[in-house]
Amino acid sequence: MGLLRKFFRQTRRPDGFLGKVMLFGMNRSHAGLADWGMQYIPRIKTDQIVDLGCGGGRNAGELLHRYPAAQLTAVDYSALSVRKAREYNQKSIEAGRCRIVLGDVSSLDLDADAFDLATAFETIYFWPGLTKCFGQVARALRPGGIFLIANECDGLDAVGKKFEKIIDGMRCYTAEEIQAELRKAGFSKVKAIHHPSRPWIAVLAKK
Ligand SMILES: C[S@@+](CC[C@H](N)C(=O)[O-])C[C@H]1O[C@@H](n2cnc3c(N)ncnc32)[C@H](O)[C@@H]1O
């Protein structure tokens, strides 16, 4: 397998040296998408946040910055992502505002009805069965809680199609597919926003 292909496969579950490089790169390259998506989060009481598939932890850090009174839990099933996200958010962890835990979105070990806001940036492509995973997110959110998904690929763009071929198990969903899965998982109000000039999508759902 070519080195580039091996490198891109690190997006799915970062590990080893290539995983470290990938996490460093993703913290930088996903910031624009994450910040674009965050602007659509409605104003709600936001005391408890969970960032799912947190990777290197930059977006968790940005959420902590935007919601200075909130506590944040970040979850990832890659031990390396958890380590790097802890390093990135060390100060917030020491301040007691942040915890980063190893866990799989398909069976979340989180309290029910505990979170006001859940986020997932550039990660649902890899989740095993969206209905089941979205059901786990719904369980963790309190009634009225918000789930934000932001993806750089809208399921139709050429780059996304190319990555689907390179990365085993990756699936780029359309906004319509994501919305249908969210409704199946029990979310009530669901809406999608398309970036005006890029294939970026943000999908918001209310429990
Ligand atoms: C492409 S990276 C995105 C990381 C980060 N959200 C960002 O925007 O930079 C995808 C991350 O999701 C994690 N991930 C994928 N499937 C997961 C699952 N089922 N449970 C928990 N984490 C998962 C991977 O380990 C990886 O760290």
pLDDT digits (tens, 9 = 90+) for 71-84: 999 999 999 999 99
What letter would DSSP give residue 105?
G
Tokens 């380590």 -> residue? 83
Each residue of 171-193: pLDDT tens digit? 999 999 999 999 999 998 999 99
Which ligand 1 atom is at minimum distance from the Cα of 106? 19
Q: What is the best residue among 126, 130, 137, 153 to mutate for testing ligand 1's pocket, by most ligand atoms within 8 Å of CB? A: 126
Q: Give 207 Cα–ligand 1 centroid separation in angstroms.
A: 22
Q: Where are the alpha helices (DSSP H) in 10-78?
A: 16-29, 31-38, 58-66
Residue of the CA atom closest to atom 20 of ligand 1: 104
pLDDT > 80? residue 129: yes
The Cα–Cα gap between 195 and 201 comes to 6
Token pair for 69: 């009174």
The three-state secondary structure class of 187 is: coil
